[in-house]
Homo-oligomer: A and B are copies of this chain.
């Protein structure tokens, strides 16, 4: 449906208004969005190229124009998802914010994202990176490598935060890199539990659990 230069696309989920510019990029972007949505809320194995094409409203021929395989799409989709996450992660982990506030804000943002997703899907979906990484790491080396890359990038936010916190005597002296990896593991473990228990409330434990790990007892609820 064309309204002036605006292309109004009616889908089964929502009505999106998209300017008709750079159609190839638009098609690629729709495939990435569809892949992220379907794989996150279901699983990699349960979603076919046909499902992704149907969701993205793209013909199968176009799919293979952009991606040689479902695995290649998944790798690009995780990267896209990470780039989108950076929009809020960069703000939260800005060194302009006091270190412990970064952690508090991060835990709160994770809860809000999961809540928003659960509201739409009716299930706690957990971490998209960890879910795909957990499912495919023994099977698909490029997906595993991308998952590893994302974990390592996430570690950098946490490592700087912990180093800053130690420098300001907000936590005890610590190996920031090692502690950051354990904090991320704790976050991922709690998100996994929330998914398996299908219980958003579990995610509220993020902040007290991370603070307890860091020895900030006054903040533990």
Q: Using a CB–CB distance below 8 Å, which chain A residues touch chain B? A: 41-46, 121, 123-126, 130-131, 133-139, 144, 147-148, 151, 178, 181-182, 184-190, 192-193, 195-198, 202, 205, 209, 212-213, 215, 217
Find out whether the CB atom of B192 lies under 8 angstroms from the CB atom of A185.
Answer: yes
Per assembly, the copies of the chain total: 2
Which of A125, A193, A198, A212: most chain B CB closer than 10 A? Answer: A193
Report which of B125, B135, B185 forms a contact with A186, defined as CB distance below 8 A.
B185
Does B41 lie within 8 Å of A44, measured CB to CB?
no
Tell me the smallest distance from the CB of A155 to a CB of chain B, in Å.
10
B-side contacts of A205, CB under 8 Å? 178, 181-182, 185
**Distance between A130 CB and nearest chain B CB, rounded to angstroms:** 6
Residue among A44, A126, A196 with the highest chain B CB neighbour number at 10 A: A196
A182 and B131 within 8 A (CB): no
Q: Which residues of B contact A138 (CB under 8 A)?
A: 41-43, 121, 123-125, 195
- Chain B nearest Cβ from A203, distance in angstroms: 11
B residues within 8 A CB of A195? 133-134, 137-138
CB distance A133 to B185 under 8 Å?
no
Q: Which of B184, B190, B197 contacts A148 (CB 8 A)?
A: B197
Q: How far is B133's CA from A209's CA once the two chains are assembled, in angstroms? A: 22
The CA of A124 and the CA of B144, in the complex, are separated in Å by 11
Which residues from B are CB-within-8-Å of A147? 196
**B residues less than 8 Å from A43 (CB atoms):** 43-45, 135-136, 138-139
Q: Can you sample 6 A-B contacts with CB below 8 Å?
A: A43-B45, A125-B138, A134-B195, A151-B197, A182-B186, A212-B213
